[in-house]
Amino acid sequence: MRCVAWASLITKIVLIGVCSVGGYLIAGQIERLAAYRWAPWVGVGVGFCFAFFAIWLVKTVRRLPIKVLVGGTLGLVIGLLIVKLLSFAFIGIENATIRVASSVVLVCIFGYVGMVVGSIKIEELGWPSWQLFQRSVGRGVSLKILDTSAIIDGRIIDILQAGFLEGTLVIPEFVLQELQHIADSPDPSRKLRGRRGLDMLKRLQEEELAEIRIERHHFPHLNEVDAKLAALAVRLNASIVTNDYNLSKVAEVQGIKVLNINRLASALRPVVLPGEVLRLQILKEGKEEGQGIAYLEDGTMVVVENAAKLLGQEVEASVTSILQTTGGRMIFTTLKPSESGRRH
């Protein structure tokens, strides 16, 4: 990881040096500027700016999906071809300044329009080969980035085994570092969660339920793991698999597709209707007087009225209402008449 960072830094330094020296030499060879002592140093500044522009351009291009790059390039080429055809209309103009200026203006207009329109309209082609092409380059909708909460949760393995998730699972290196940090925590509960996450990763690799890829992208300007996950998803044009409600909302605002495991589990919960009779085991007392608390197999909390004195017993209760909250679903029930007599 450090070797890659150092290699990238050295490459950038070499690029800046070459461009600066090249600007110095080129400016010194221009006849109109040769008489001025400051001219070569202006060339150094221009070369320096070109080097930074190239570095910025590479960072920008890396974040773009491959289809946008291909569409923009095709649009640019078509725009320049149109300019080439229109340039024949300026052949008869004797004034070279007008001819050159007209050509430059046309190149800027049609090049820009072609690049923008091409990058947008390429989606409408709907070529069957796009999906295959995306997989071959490893960038597309088939990439799923796992965050720390999804790995620790462990249900991702059950989802893969059931065949409801496909594609390449991407494990960012900064997520691995966060898991290791949690596993080394002095807090016993955090340490347990961190070790569970590392065990889940080991199972994912051993059981080969999906292709696992470790991604080593660097985001030195970002400190929060959630921000890095969103930036990586944009760069790879990938989805995020998570249990984090806040991360889901932030990612959706940025146009990133989110696969929330809790939302999936909630959608798969069995439908319970008012009047239905449930067989439950009262596990603890509720907040209100006389209430007993039980749970369905999927973890849904059930409030049973007048069941506080039946702790540890199995009862039959009739559903009266269902409440959907931000934390999940709550079911309110009352004891059947035959069960009410058991309190005494």
pLDDT score, position 63: 62
Q: Assess whether 90 and 162 both reside in one domain.
A: no
Total count of domains within the chain: 4
Task: Specify whether the backbone of 237 is left (phi greater than 0), alpha (psi in -120 to 50) or beta.
Answer: left
In this structure, what CATH number is given to the domain that contains residue 184? 3.40.50.1010
End-to-end CA distance of the chain: 69
Q: Last residue of some domain: 100, 120, 140?
A: 120
Please tell me the total number of residues recorded for the chain in this structure.
Answer: 344
d(CA 144, CA 260): 12
Q: Domain ends where: 14, 43, 62?
A: 62
97-117 in b/e burial notation, b at 16+ Cβ within 10 A? eeeeebeeebbeebbeebbee
Clarify whether residues 102 and 154 are in a common domain.
no
pTM (global) more than 0.75: no
pLDDT higher than threshold 90 for residue 145: yes
Single-letter amino acid code for the residue at 26: I
**Distance from the Cα of residue 268 to its chain's centroid:** 24
Do the domain assignments include residue 272? no
Domain that holds residue 314: 277-343
Calpha distance 302→284 (Å, rounded)? 11
pLDDT value of position 123: 56
Same domain, 183 and 239: yes
- Dihedral Cα 281, 285, 288, 294, nearest 10 deg: -30
Q: What is the DSSP letter of 89?
A: G
Question: 340 pLDDT band (50/70/90 cuts)?
Answer: low
For 270-329, write each residue's pLDDT tens digit: 778 888 888 888 888 888 888 899 988 777 889 998 888 888 888 888 998 888 776 667
**What was the pLDDT predicted at 50?**
84
Looking at the fold, whether 136 and 258 belong to one and the same domain comes out as yes
More confident residue, 93 or 113: 113
Q: What is the mean pLDDT of residues 118-133?
A: 57
pLDDT at 33 over 80: no
**Residue 126 belongs to some domain of the structure:** no
- The predicted-structure confidence for 60-78, as pLDDT tens digits, reads as follows 766 666 777 787 888 888 8
Cβ neighbours, 10 Å, residue 19: 21
Residue 220 CB coordination number (10 Å)? 6
